[in-house]
Amino acid sequence: MLHRERGEMGELVAAAELAKHGVGVAWPLGDELPFDLVLHWEGRLFRAQVKSARPAEGAVRFNLASQNSTRYRKYTEADCDVMVLCDYERAYLLGPGDFSGRRGFTVRLGSARNGQVRGTHGREDYAVSPERVEAVLGPSPGEAAPEGRPS
């Protein structure tokens, strides 16, 4: 499968996972924008960058940077509001604090071999779910905002 086809498949899986949880999904026209999808949640729009990778050795290692033939650049909240990572079976939702300025992000599919817990990113902590959508995109109307996030 070609690189572009893998990316498009990742976008489709990510869109389907988000839609299952009530998030509206639209595609921008063209490939020159710093985001791949537009998400609609509770009357607000979010620019989403999608990154995909295959699992290996109990984890999925995502490259969060943009690369072309002349430059390498890390994404920030100026480029996109959220990042959706996809391993072709599941999607993981990151807020700006999770991705901004980072070169990579690793999602652990199980426990670390050395038993490390601190500083690891577990599958269930980031997988798209109603709780994760509300934590990153904000609460549904009539619900209290998560601590530290304005409604």
Q: Which residue has the higher pLDDT, 11 or 31?
A: 11
Tell which wins on pLDDT, 12 or 67: 12
The three-state (H, E, C) secondary structure of 92-131, written as one string: EEECHHHHCCCCEEEEECCCCCCCCCCCCCEHHHHECCHH
What is the pLDDT averaged over residues 31-55?
92
Question: How far, in Å, CA of 126 to CA of 141, rounded?
Answer: 23
Helix-then-strand count for the chain, H and E: 4, 9
Does residue 99 contact residue 59 with C-beta atoms inside 8 Å? no
> Which range has the worst mean pLDDT, 10-14, 16-20, 65-69, 86-90?
65-69
* Greater model confidence, 94 or 111: 94
Between CA 11 and CA 34 the distance in angstroms is: 14
Residue 151: its pLDDT value, please?
46
DSSP E strands in the chain: the ranges are 24-26, 37-41, 44-52, 59-63, 65-67, 72-74, 82-86, 91-94, 104-108
Quick check: 49 pLDDT over 50? Answer: yes
Position with higher pLDDT, 69 vs 35: 35
Average the pLDDT over 119-138 and give the result. 89
The first and second tokens of residue 9, run together, are 């498949």
Residue bearing the bigger pLDDT, 7 or 44 = 44
- The type of residue at 9 is M
Distance separating alpha carbons of residues 7 and 121, to the nearest angstrom? 22
Domains and CATH numbers, the chain: 3-137 (3.40.1350.10)
133 and 91 Cβ atoms separated by less than 8 Å: no
For tokens 């500083």, what's the residue?
A: 119
Mean residue pLDDT of the chain comes to 85
Q: What confidence tens digit (pLDDT) does each residue in 52-84 have?
A: 998 888 888 898 887 766 777 888 889 999 999
